[in-house]
Amino acid sequence: MKKILLSTAATLAFAGAAQAEGKLNLYVWSDSIAPELIEKFAKENDVEVTVDGFNSNEDLLTKLQAGASGYDLVTPSQHFVKIMVDQGLLEDIDAHDLAAYAQVDEKWRGQWWDPENDYSIPLAYGTAGYTVNRDIYDGPVDSWATYFEAPEALKGKIASLNYPDEVVGAAQLYLGVEFCSEDPAEMKKVYDLLAAQKPDVAVFASDNIENRIGSGEVGAHFWWDGNSLKTRKNDGAPIEFAMPKEGLVGWLDSMVVPAGAANVDNAKAFIDFMSTPENATIQYNYYAHSSPVALDLDKAEYTPENAPELFPTVPVEFSRACSPAAQDLVTKVWTQLLQ
């Protein structure tokens, strides 16, 4: 599986690499950084940039834990930033002294995953929910009930992800169970819900989602806001990102530097580069996820009118860094579900 994920990674080498002053090795969510920005940064700073992609926070954490990853900048979500800081896997780059910090929206400063802003500058944020194909299902999408207790039209046409992280979170929102619950009785309820849903699930997979939901292979897919938006706009797919009243699962990805990275200065330069209003806007238009830094609003493509996906009207609950006991319960739910 990891091979597939890596195969989606693009490696960009630039002419004149021989004279390049330095290197910068990025390990980011697959297809998450606008290629034109990579090219621009490489040219402006005479730096050779390589980009690899990952498709889950767990992949990234495992790679950093294995040591000597060779990467200079990675983009974990908030709960994994917390874990990585606690495990000593990140370089203290005094992020609050960077020019980029001044661009960060007040509400994203000093958060629980990095209270002093020593390690991280946020890159993008959004939500995880579910998307329906309107050719297949035309009923209401204002609750997780549609997803977890499939109506007739969606029976056998539900698609989930192949790891539990956000799916279990959504089930917890629906049932009113606390995130990272350490209570086995509560988590048993989550298991029962997912087990009852399983006969209606066609596939548990996290890649190739846009094809499956866009083509109507499945009628409802667990998914992220911006990806759903991009597929609706670019491919004209008849899909809608649901706004369940119980809430959406929130995420925020940050730029951080792994401990012992070889090119820390280039990584810092890249963080500043990505956070200027001009470049952040290019990134916003490419990635189609919300930006935690100031944008050039005249050039920003997405507004509440044309991109309701990015402006949720329901509560958003951010994933947390679970204790080992809570994480074991999540794993137990998932293993029993797929045993």
Partner 1 sequence: MRDFRFWGLLPAHVLMALTLIVPILIIVAVSFSTRGAYGGFEFTFTTDAYRQILFNEGWTGELEFNPQYLYIIGRTVLLACCTTFLCMALAFPIAYWITLQGHKARVILLFAVTLPFWVSMIVRVYAWLIILGNDGVIEKGLRLTGLVDDLPSLLFNNGAMLAGMVYSYIPLMILPVFASIEKLDPALIEASHDLHGSRWVTLRRIILPLCWPGLVAGAILVFVPCLGAVLEPVLLGGGKILMMGNLIQMQFGGARNWPFGASIAIVLMCLVMVFLLLNGLRATRKAMEEMA
**Interface with partner 1 by CB under 8 A: which residues?**
1-4, 7, 56, 58-59, 61-62, 65, 83, 86-87, 156, 162-165, 184-185, 187-188, 191, 198, 201-205, 208, 215-217, 324, 327-328, 330-332, 334-336, 338-339
What residues contact residue 82 under an 8 Å CB cut-off, 6+ apart? 112, 113, 114, 321
Please say which residue, 43 or 198, places its beta carbon nearer to partner 1: 198
Question: C-alpha angle with apex 4: 218 to 206, nearest 5 degrees?
Answer: 30
Please say which residue, 306 or 335, places its beta carbon nearer to partner 1: 335
Distances, alpha carbon 321 to alpha carbons 70, 79, 81, 117, 325, in Å: 25, 4, 9, 17, 12
Please say which residue, 23 or 188, places its beta carbon nearer to partner 1: 188
Please say which residue, 303 or 323, places its beta carbon nearer to partner 1: 323
Question: Cα 74 vs. chain centroid, distance in angstroms?
Answer: 12
* Radius of gyration (C-alpha) of the chain in whole angstroms: 20
C-alpha span between 6 and 328 (Å, rounded)? 27
β-bridge mates for residue 77, sequence order: 253
β-bridge mates for residue 293, sequence order: 104
Strands 121-133 and 248-255 turn out to be: antiparallel
Please say which residue, 104 or 333, places its beta carbon nearer to partner 1: 333
Q: How far is the CB of 277 from partner 1 (least distance, A)?
A: 36
Please say which residue, 204 or 318, places its beta carbon nearer to partner 1: 204
Q: How far is the CB of 246 from partner 1 (least distance, A)?
A: 23
- Contact of 99 with 268, CB cutoff 8 Å: no
| Two structure tokens written together for 18 | 């021989």
| Two structure tokens written together for 41 | 């940064």
User: Which residue has tokens 């950084």?
Assistant: 33
